[in-house]
Amino acid sequence: MQTIRLDKLALQPHQRVLDLGCGEGRHALAAYWFSAAAEVVALDVNHKDVRTAQSRKNDFPQADPEKRCHFLVGDGLRLPFADHTFDVVICSEVLEHIPDYQGMLAEARRVLAPGGILAVSVPRAWPERICWWLSRAYHQVEGGHIRIFNARKLCAEIQSRGFDKISHHWAHALHVPYWWLRCLFWQRGADFAPVRLYHRLLVWDLLKHPPLTRFLEWMLNPLMGKSVVFYFTKRDLS
């Protein structure tokens, strides 16, 4: 399930991509398998997630042998890369977890080449506020969400750091009811029947891509998409 749209990144065969806070590798692996990028680097502070991402890469046939995909454990506030290393930096559903998210944005800018693309997604504010209201545990678990972003303010903050906004969109409207159910019945767990059944629907939708649910999500995303996604280019301030 991708939140960042690869078509918005316009990846070229010579380019390098950093998936910053890659989690279990969904965007890094999509870029490796389905884009023209020459090299993809997936980095996360969580050892278990990085191992999972690596195992998923090995579960499928290798992409073009000329392409490379690396998985690293590292701190997004101290990236082990030189300035201007990457042509694209993806930071999806990460900033809401990070106390010093400004520091991570600064590092993303440092390693991004002038003219490169930064793709950022965070949870949309109003569906997220309902989750917080329904369950305190939802945002108090280890590694959970520590803030709710105002999308306009976040966009303006990123632009103030030397970026120009290209476009934005919303994503995953059909996931919002799942998380509301999950929060409402938090103490009963993910196996509670309403939660389990709705999750089964989401898995079916992910695997089958039926036209009806794809149309419903397209219609609902502007209203209640769970994530807001921004795309920026880095200005050359030299």
**Alpha helices (runs of H) in 35-66, residue ranges in sequence order:** 47-58
Mean pLDDT along residues 119-126: 98
Residues 130-146: b if buried by 16+ CB within 10 A, e if exposed: ebeebbeebbeeeeebe
3-state secondary structure 160-215: HCCEEEEEEEEECCCHHHHHHHHHHCHHHCCCCHHHHHHHHHHHHHHHHCCHHHHH
Convert the pLDDT of each residue in 127-185 to its tens digit: 999 999 999 999 888 888 999 999 999 999 999 999 999 999 999 999 999 999 999 99
CB 69 within 8 A of CB 29: yes
Mean pLDDT along residues 106-131: 97
**Which pLDDT score is estimated for 189?**
94
β partners of residue 91: 120
pTM metric for this prediction: 0.95
Convert the pLDDT of each residue in 21-47 to its tens digit: 999 999 999 999 999 999 999 999 999
Domain boundaries, the chain: 6-124+139-173+224-234
Please give the CATH number for the structural domain made up of 6-124+139-173+224-234.
3.40.50.150
Q: Which is higher by pLDDT, 141 or 73?
A: 73
Tell which residue, 46, 94, 99, 42, has the closest CA to residue 71: 42
